[in-house]
Amino acid sequence: MHNYAKVSASSDSDNSLGQVWREIYAKLQRRARQLCKGDTHRADELLSDTALKVHLHMSHSGDHIRNLAGFMFLALNHAFLDHIRRQGRENKVFDHNCECDEDYIAEQAGNGPSPEQELVLKQQLSCMSQAVASLNPDQQTLFALKFEQDLPYPQIATKLGINEALARKRVELLRKQLRRQLA
């Protein structure tokens, strides 16, 4: 007999829960969308979580809730906070900026040089190395300052003890000499 009374009280609370839910659903939905900044899908998930929280609380708690509508809004806020906390934990674990999906990897692999292009590039690099090796020591120093260290002309001029215009002229002459050797 005691179990029947408990089932009857439970079904009465389910009926009142459903009735109050239907009465304030539009307001709950508006608040959920406001919390989710207009994202209807997230708002719907939030409402589902809210309904579940309220139902679980009412079925496990023997307490009678005086203001069920207010309790639903409180549960909505708690569901939203749970979502934010869960998202924060996930952001610490997962790097969402990592573009490591298969399409991206395949795209990157496809952008590399073909074996033939790679061979041509290696041959050009070998020719360039030979051309630089054939330069006199002053020209090699100038090449290192401009093309390896990528220094601006004022710094090159200071390191070589010459003025900036002369540094520019020497780099121009160096480029012409290297082009001739590579041609």
Each residue's pLDDT tens digit, 104-144 = 656 655 667 778 888 888 888 888 888 889 999 999 999 99
| CATH classification of the domain holding 146 | 1.10.10.10
Residue 61 pLDDT greater than 90, yes or no: no
Domain presence at residue 44? yes
Domain presence at residue 107? no
Residue 154's pLDDT is what?
A: 94
Domain presence at residue 100? no
> By mean pLDDT, which of 1-15, 83-97, 103-117 is the weakest?
1-15
Domain presence at residue 110? no
State the pLDDT confidence band at 8, using cuts at 50, 70 and 90.
very low
Residue 12 pLDDT greater than 60, yes or no: no
Residues 86 and 9 in one domain: yes
Distance separating alpha carbons of residues 80 and 91, to the nearest angstrom: 16
Distance separating alpha carbons of residues 130 and 178, to the nearest angstrom: 10
Contact at 8 Å (CB) between 72 and 50? yes
Of residues 114 and 152, more confidence is placed in: 152
Q: Which two tokens stand for residue 61?
A: 């708690």
Domain presence at residue 77? yes
Residue holding tokens 């109050």?
Answer: 20
- State how many domains the chain has: 2
Question: What is the domain range of residue 174?
Answer: 115-182
Q: Which two tokens stand for residue 33?
A: 């969308």
Residues 88 and 119 in one domain: no
How far apart, in Å, are the Cα atoms of 82 and each of 26, 87, 118, 151?
22, 8, 53, 54
Q: What's the length of the chain?
A: 183
pLDDT > 70 fraction of the chain, expressed in percent and rounded = 81
Residues 122 and 86 in one domain: no
Distance separating alpha carbons of residues 51 and 17, to the nearest angstrom: 9
Residues 89 and 10 in one domain: yes
Residues 131 and 85 in one domain: no
State the pLDDT confidence band at 50, using cuts at 50, 70 and 90.
confident
Residue 46 pLDDT greater than 70, yes or no: yes
Q: Which two tokens stand for residue 13?
A: 């609370």
Residues 6 and 86 in one domain: yes
Spacing of C-alpha 108 from chain mean position: 18
Of residues 87 and 4, more confidence is placed in: 87
Residue 15's pLDDT is what?
A: 67
Distance separating alpha carbons of residues 134 and 118, to the nearest angstrom: 24
Residues 85 and 142 in one domain: no
Q: What is the DSSP string of 105-125?
A: HHHHHHTSPPHHHHHHHHHHH
Residues 36 and 84 in one domain: yes
Domain presence at residue 17? yes
Residues 127 and 177 in one domain: yes
Residues 73 and 15 in one domain: yes
Q: Write down the mean pLDDT value for the chain.
A: 81
- Residue of 58, 84, 78 lying closest to 6 (CA atoms): 58
Domain presence at residue 102? no
